[in-house]
A = this chain, B = another copy of it.
Amino acid sequence: VHSEIKPSNQPKPSFIETARRAQIIECAIDAIAELGFAQASLAQIAKRAGVSTGVILYYFAGKDELIREVIAHVYATGRALIEPRVNDEATARAALRCFIEASVGFVASRPNYTGAVMNIIRAGRTDAGAPRVDPVVDQPRHVGFRSILEWGQGGGEFRPFAVGVMVETIVEALDAIPPQLAADPGLDLDAYARELVELFDRATRADTPAQGSIR
């Protein structure tokens, strides 16, 4: 399907192929979230999927491709959950609040998804020295936050600040949650989200004579 031996014009991924790929990705996510990226060997992933390691390499050109697809799948799932909620917002301030809440909600609803991706991203670099995660695929959240922040700055809702720094800080604050949740599964994520919303609302909003509370 993707290796050069197969016909390059992938005609129609068969049902079984789609199912297998999805199953393997799911098992990879679980393995990485539970064992950590370094310990998540193909053998471990295959074991969870109840197949041989050969199957994984039949459907994915190599471990790197599997990992890339894991990331892509997690991002797509997150985007599907988050984007519609954010798009309904009328103000940048509300959109920011909503984006943060939805992001934390994604962590809460799919802790393994976010946990796996964090493990991958933070595990560092691959042999070639290139970052294991393409900036391209890593960007969606950055892009989303950046556009909200620029929207708010343009409209005067937000004070002037370096958008890049703010984006990075917000994203990292969210990325810090999965490991904390793994360490303490009882963590109150609703409260965590409220704190982050308040934090970044204060950090971003413009100084106005009459600025009401966010809620």
Contacts and interface: CB of A to CB of B under 8 A. Distances in A.
The count of identical subunits is 4
Nearest to A41: B5
Interface stretch (A9-17, A77-85, A171-179): A171-179
Contacts of A2: none
Interface stretch (A31-39, A66-74, A89-97): A31-39
Interface string A165-201: 1101101110110001001000000011001101110
A162 interface: yes
Interface residues on A, range: 35 or more
A49 to B, nearest CB: 11
B38 A38 contact: yes
A124 B37 contact: yes
A191 B125 CA distance: 27
13 contacts: A5-B43, A36-B124, A36-B125, A37-B124, A39-B126, A165-B196, A165-B199, A166-B195, A166-B199, A169-B172, A169-B196, A172-B176, A202-B202
B199 A169 contact: yes
